[in-house]
Amino acid sequence: MTFRRGAALTTATTLGFADTADLGPTAGNGFYRGWPDDLASIQELGITDLRLTLDWARLQPKPGSLDPDWSERFEQILAAAAAIGLRTWATLHDGSIPKWFDNEGGFGDGEVFGRWWPRWVEAIADRFGDSVGGWVPFAELPADARGPWRDTWTILEGVHPVVASILAPGAGAAAAVDDVVERLDLLGLVLPTPWELDSADDDPSAAVADGWGQLIRDAADDARDAPVVVTGFEPNHHDSDTAGRIVTTLVGVLDEAIADGVTIEMCLLQPAIATASGTVGLLDAGRNATPLVDAFLPPR
């Protein structure tokens, strides 16, 4: 038994944040015009799954209905991915929010969150629900996940699998699982880089591998038999060889956990394509394969 290999296409690492976002504008990496070729290149590597952020700031630049042009563009992307056998997991929040939502108080205001977030989820489910293979609504669940997740689960559950994604490590991760464990199909885990696990070495050490392994096993225990998905792992390195060694270590950890009886459905690596800032992806800025490909994907 092994796990499916996927890649994440986040707003930050593809289109860049729009000027309608609280964090924008930022530079994209050419995905805006080259997405048909980019999808084909990703599929040709052997990737089977994509996590695609449906950018809230672009799709809903003002409260109310969805932007028709961006709705059509994302529908085209989803259809093209499905046509070449890529299963798409849609993410509805991943780092930025529309300026109008931020101006009203954003996620920090429970009343604002409760009013606008469910409407956004409903609008996306209505428009794109038939075109996705699954949902990772939050790239990382908010600290107090109970209310937002209950609303999200109520809208999305029942047709496509829904992943609750938590950020590890820390006591907050366990609390987030407790908030959502009765309402999930798969438990998602965002794994830290070696440096976030206090490793000063260029190469991940045995201690780092042990740290990842423990986090995965703890998540599996907390999930109460729900399968685990690594919803986000980024080597976060500008040297492709070092990034490749980091990913090789991660794959070994995942294989060992599976051999020990942990059910790991999938791992999503990011970025799929090198970012404008130069962070290494499976494909570099010229869309050539990097050492991450041999590290992450089994020989074809």
pLDDT at residue number 169: 64
Helices (H), the chain: 31-45, 56-59, 68-83, 99-104, 110-128, 146-156, 171-180, 206-222, 240-259, 291-296
**Maximum distance among all alpha carbons in the chain?**
51
| Tokens matching residue 244 | 């490749």
Domains of the chain (ranges, CATH numbers): 4-296 (3.20.20.80)
Q: Is 30 helix (H, G, I), strand (E, B) or coil?
A: coil
Smallest CA-to-CA distance from 249 within 173, 288, 197 is with 197
User: What's the pLDDT score for residue 168?
Assistant: 73
Please give the C-alpha separations between residue 164 and each of 9, 126, 288, 297, in angstroms, as whole numbers. 18, 20, 33, 25
Render each residue's pLDDT in the chain as its tens digit; 300 residues.
789 999 999 999 999 999 999 998 999 999 999 999 999 999 999 999 999 999 999 999 999 889 999 999 999 999 999 999 999 999 999 989 999 999 999 888 889 989 999 999 999 999 999 999 999 999 998 777 778 899 999 999 999 999 999 887 655 566 667 778 889 999 999 998 887 775 555 555 677 888 899 889 988 888 878 899 999 899 888 889 989 999 999 999 999 999 999 999 999 999 999 987 778 999 999 999 999 999 999 886
Contacts of 49 (CB under 8 A, 6+ apart): 4, 5, 6, 7, 86, 87, 88, 89, 133, 266, 268
Please give the pLDDT value at position 209: 87
The CA-atom distances, in angstroms, between 116 and each of 53, 98, 102, 110, 222 are: 18, 11, 11, 10, 30
What is the amino acid identity at position 24? G
Radius of gyration of the chain (CA): 18
